[in-house]
Structure 1
Amino acid sequence: MKNKDIGIIGMGVMGKNLAVNIANHGYKVSVFNRSYNFTFKKLVNEPIKNIFPYRSVKDFISSLCIPRCILLMIQSGTPIDDMIKKILPYLNKNDVIIDGGNSFYIDSIRRYNVLKEKSIHFLGVGISGGEEGALKGPSIMPGGNKEAYKIVSPIFKKIAAKYKDTACVKYIGSDGSGHYVKMVHNGIEYSDMQLISESYTLLKYLIGMDNLEISDTFKKWNSGELSSYLIEITSNIFCKKDDKNHFIIDNILDVASNKGTGKWTAQNSLELQIPCSILTESVFCRYLSSLKANRMIASTILSGPKLFIVKDSKKEEIIEDIRRALYLGKIISYAQGFSLMKKASEYYNWKLKFFDIAKIFRSGCIIRAKLLNEIVFSYSENNDLVDLLFTSNFKKIINLYTSSLRNIVILSIKNGISIPIFTNVLSYYDAYRTVNSSANLIQAQRDYFGSHTYERIDQIGSFHTNWLDK
């Protein structure tokens, strides 16, 4: 019977939780999995209201209302292309294929164009919030065919996270724009996590706090301007113990994994020539963490300064410096991410609405934070902002908090504590506010060895000098 509202292919954690979320809102959901895995077997043997499992692609697609809407929640890359090929013979004109995974936006552009020629609608949808968000309400970033979005938008609006009764979903733009925004979201996520981790390092080694004190500090920070999902869960992490009454954090190997989306953001910033140095350095930090064996060797043969814990009389002052530096770092990280999206919007002619994107990020997603309200306000006044750092409120905070960032960078260098992102934030800030940089020497060098020419500040045009002529 063709009465199911939407079909989902892929019954991993995200796929199943989205199916349950949609079903809980009164929609009938057909589900299919490439393999007869544990989750799928459980759905067959222990049915969930409004969820209907199918063993064959043909039966699965035949169960759907027309136009058919099929959400793919499977591994990105080749598996997506293979599944599209598998289901295409059963689809009709104006049916909708939705890729809800972490696909590379260039792949989404290609799929959008290929399916358009076949009169099949395609949506590349960024979904953020992890397994809990998928179940209770994610942040949703749909890009692709606008008519297709109109078909599925009632479902998306029902299942999305809500911020003061506003659904955190909005049509982003054509072809791969939805997955692009999700990619940049993940780049900001990388830098946010690294900034928080470096703050933890400073609290632990510079201030001498134990886990419960660190937990309390993050809990306190979360009640103010730093309020965010990542600060909240960090507070919870530091007080969690295992069944042996040991703090779990102390037994986690310090090697950070990644799924590639941060790397894509870094690569794209290079391609579009936007200096997202904080986001890019955060990716390198994860790579460096994976060199565990090398780091263990280096710790025994490469020397550094002796570590001195801050004196009690100075501790509260330095803790406040760390808090301010963390907030400043978050602001500049978000500013770099939005600058990258601005350039991509121009390059791909997406006409992104940054006001809407910031609103989507306010609930459900991993980088949701109080400071997004200020970003929403800034873009509500002007979608073509040159840079978020130039807005009146952020400008005041940056100028006020910079001295705190300098203090902790200086202290960390003196004590041999690695804080690459805080250091990068300060370096980027100082470079960005420098009127006359050293790039004039680079241009002279390029002209010297390669006759690449240079521009002058006192004359118009391109110039070349015979540097060997005495």
Structure 2
Amino acid sequence: MEITKAGVIGAGTMGGALALLLADNGVEVSVHDICESNLQKTAAAAEAAGLSARINICKDYDSLCESLGTPKVFIFSLPNGRPGDSVVKTLEKYVTKGDIVIDASNENWKVTQARQQILSKYGVAYIGLGVSGGSYGARNGPSMMPGGEKWAVDMVLPMLTRMAARDDHGRPCVANIGTGGSGHFVKMIHNGIEHGIMSALCEAWEIMDQTLGMDGEEIGAIFDSWNTKGGLKGNFLVEISGSICRTKSSSGAGYMLHDIRDAVVQDANDSEGTGSWANVQSVESHVPAPSLTAAHYLRIASSQVEQRLFINTSLDITPPKREKVTGAERSAVLQELADAVYGTTLLCFVQGLDVLERESMNQNWGIDIPRVLEIWRAGCIIKSDALLDMLHASYLESPQTPLLCRPQIAQDVKRCQPALKKIVLRSIESDARVPCLSGTLEYLKYIGGVDLPTSFTEAQLDCFGAHGYDLKSEPVRHLLKGSYHHAWSG
């Protein structure tokens, strides 16, 4: 059945853009928002785009639902948590069997599954739709990750396919992710990877800006070069970095980056929860993802501006030191930095995909990882063409092998590790802040370590808690309580 009508609830930046994109693709859209100004902005944008005939502004749920066809299809884009709960509660008295609710918010996948259970008793499907691409993608074609009951996802997939961005081969960047909260889960992991890459890039920027003393034009040119060749070729976040670095201050003196407050508040004020959830999920799934976690801690610390000022005075924290690096030496450092950032970006993907695979198995979602990698292309914030090509090929060649054991991934990681070590050492000496880069280096040191210092931890646990331990001389027993106990002196 072709969907020709849809109700959009929440006409903020993302919801309003999605409403216009739906109208662009021939859908009659009824829009409702409790904020009158959002409705006015959407109406004005529709008029400017010549879409007023397909955009119907609704003041209440009665008029919204009366304007929809059968089955009724709702799409909402709201802050996570209680706003969505409120909408679902309100919709309960309006929906009937066969209706479909599409949640295009960044919602917690567990909340999504709880709402699916609430609406399933009415025969109503609830689809968790991960949307990547920001406000531009929402208006012009995003990457989309729908998950829920198969019949419902199959019904809305033609509509989503028309809306989705197309990759270089003309393929729509959307696919049925799986059942339950799988769609929102994949978007959560996407955002965890995104935060890791962004941290690696901001750390690289500080090294070039503060330690090497490069100006915005020079740094922008470096980012541009990374985007045109090598492992970071076709990386969206690298692509936008060049122009950001070159943007001059509004005063005309210096660069805009030096005027911007160093405070990422989206995580700390709970307007963006995906980064936190991705890190909590890695712990719950028992999969180490320190690159993503270190990146998230930096964002959280950055939001605490007043506290940082007090601590700076208390501890006399010094800013990064300027190095005298010129000519061939600087070129060598910049090449090492490129390799370090690429290696960290690759390992952000590896860590995120490890969490994704583990929970897909635990939840029996059966997520098709190669298809997910195809979706993370055009319209997607973590688009990274060369890297994703390599990852995709590795899944087709050896799908059952751990990621870091696949030949091309292992080759790239081994190639980048010496550069990563040099950059981290240089940053320690100059006091540059590199939590994600250094966390990635430590990850490599222990993820494949065969004789970790945790034998000491096992001994302590056995000493004070009789937790038991196993011996190296005996075969490995996976995740079982130790067979031995020692009566430790003292």
Aligned to 2:185: 180
Residue of structure 2 in register with 1:60 after alignment: 64
Partner of 1:284: 297
Equivalent residue for 1:100, pick from 101, 104, 110: 104
Q: Where does residue 296 of structure 1 map in the other structure?
A: 309
**307-316 or 70-79, which deviates more:** 307-316
**What is residue 352 of structure 2 aligned with on the other side?**
337
Q: Which amino acid aligns with 2:260?
A: I
Name the SS of the counterpart of 2:56 in structure 1.
Answer: strand
- Identify which range, 131-140 or 265-274, moves more after superposition: 265-274
Q: 1:248 aligns with which of 249, 253, 256?
A: 256
State the partner residue of 2:478.
none
Q: How does 1:11-410 map to 2 (within 5 A)?
A: 11-40=11-40, 43=43, 46=47, 48-163=52-167, 164-225=169-230, 226-227=232-233, 228-246=235-253, 247-258=255-266, 259-300=272-313, 301-302=315-316, 307-370=322-385, 371-387=387-403, 389-410=404-425
**1:436 lines up with 2:451 in the alignment:** yes
* 1:47-91 deviations in Å (ceiling 9; x for gaps): 624222222212211222211111011222111111112122122
How far off its partner does 1:267 sit?
Answer: 0.9
Structure 2 residue matching 1:166: 3-state secondary structure: coil
- Is the 8 Å Cα contact of residues 32 and 61 (structure 2) preserved in structure 1? yes
Would the alpha carbon gap of residues 87 and 297 (structure 1) be closer, same or farther in structure 2, given more than 3 Å must change?
Answer: closer
Question: How far is the alpha carbon of 1:39 from its aligned partner?
Answer: 3.4
What is the distance in 1 between the residues matched to 2:451 and 2:249? 55
Q: Partners in 2 of 1:35 and 1:290 — Cα distance? A: 28
Deviation per CA, 1:209-250: give whole Å up to 9, x if none: 011111111111110131211001111101112443242111
41 and 221 in structure 1: CA distance in 2 versus 1, 3 angstrom threshold: closer
The equivalent residue for 1:463 is 484
Instruction: Give, in whole Å, the separation in 1 of the partners of 2:460 and 2:427.
Output: 34
Query: What secondary structure is seen at the aligned counterpart in 1 of 2:360?
Result: helix
Query: How far off is 1:172 after superposition?
Result: 0.7
Deviations 1:144-176 (A, max 9, x none): 111111111111001111112100001111111
Deviation at 1:289, TM superposition (A): 1.6
Residues 403-455 of structure 1, C-alpha deviations (whole Å, 9 max, x = no match)? 11111111111122221111111110011221111111111110011100011
Change (3 A) 1:94 1:243: same
Distance 1:198 1:341 in 2: 26
Instruction: Measure, in 1, the Cα distance between the counterparts of 2:245 and 2:157.
Output: 39
Residues 274-332 of structure 1: per-residue CA shift (max 9 Å, x gap): 10111111111112222333433444543669543324341000000000100000011
456-465 or 362-371: bigger deviation: 456-465
What letter matches 1:261 in structure 2? Answer: T
Q: Distance in 2 between matches of 1:207 and 1:160?
A: 41
> Structure 1: 5+ residue runs without aligned partners?
none
CA distance in 1, matches of 2:410, 2:140: 36
Q: For residues 348 and 234 of structure 1, what CA distance do their matches in structure 2 show?
A: 37
CA distance in 2 between counterparts of 1:86 and 1:294 reads 41
Cα contact 1:105–1:176 (8 A) shared by 2: yes
Using structure 1 for the length normalisation, give the TM-score.
0.95
Equivalent pair of 1:126/1:140 in contact (CA under 8 Å): yes
CA distance in 2, matches of 1:129, 1:262: 16
Q: Sort the Cα spacing of 1:294 and 1:358 in 2 relative to 1 into closer, same or farther, 3 A.
A: same
Q: 2:467 pairs with 452, 456, 459, which one?
A: 452
Cα drift, residue 384 of structure 1: 3.5
Instruction: Give the Cα separation in 2 of the matches to 1:302 and 1:285.
Output: 19
* Larger CA deviation: 306-315 vs 279-288: 306-315
1:390-411 Cα offsets, whole Å, 9 max, x none, are 2211211111121111111111
Q: Distance in 2 between matches of 1:327 and 1:41?
A: 41
Three-state SS of the structure 1 residue aligned to 2:294 is helix
Partners of 1:206 and 1:442 in 2: CA distance: 38
Three-state SS of the structure 2 residue aligned to 1:169 is coil
Local SS of the residue matching 1:127: strand
Q: TM-score, normalised by structure 2?
A: 0.91
Contact 2:92 2:119 in 1 (8 A): no
Q: Contact 2:279–2:293 at 8 Å: present in 1 too?
A: yes
Distance in 2, Cα, partners of 1:299 & 1:459? 51
Give distance in 2, aligned partners of 1:275 and 1:120: 37
Give distance in 1, aligned partners of 2:41 and 2:384: 38
CA contact (8 A) 1:9 1:70 kept: yes
Please identify, of 410-419 and 304-313, the stretch whose mean Cα deviation from structure 2 is larger: 304-313
CA–CA separation in structure 2 for the residues paired with 1:42 and 1:391: 48
Identity of aligned residues (%): 30
CA distance in 2 between counterparts of 1:385 and 1:136 reads 38
SS of structure 1 residue aligned to 2:93: helix
Secondary structure (helix, strand or coil) at the match of 2:441 reads: helix
How far apart, CA to CA, are the structure 2 residues paired with 1:222 and 1:81? 41
Q: Aligned equivalents of 1:141 and 1:41: distance in 2?
A: 27
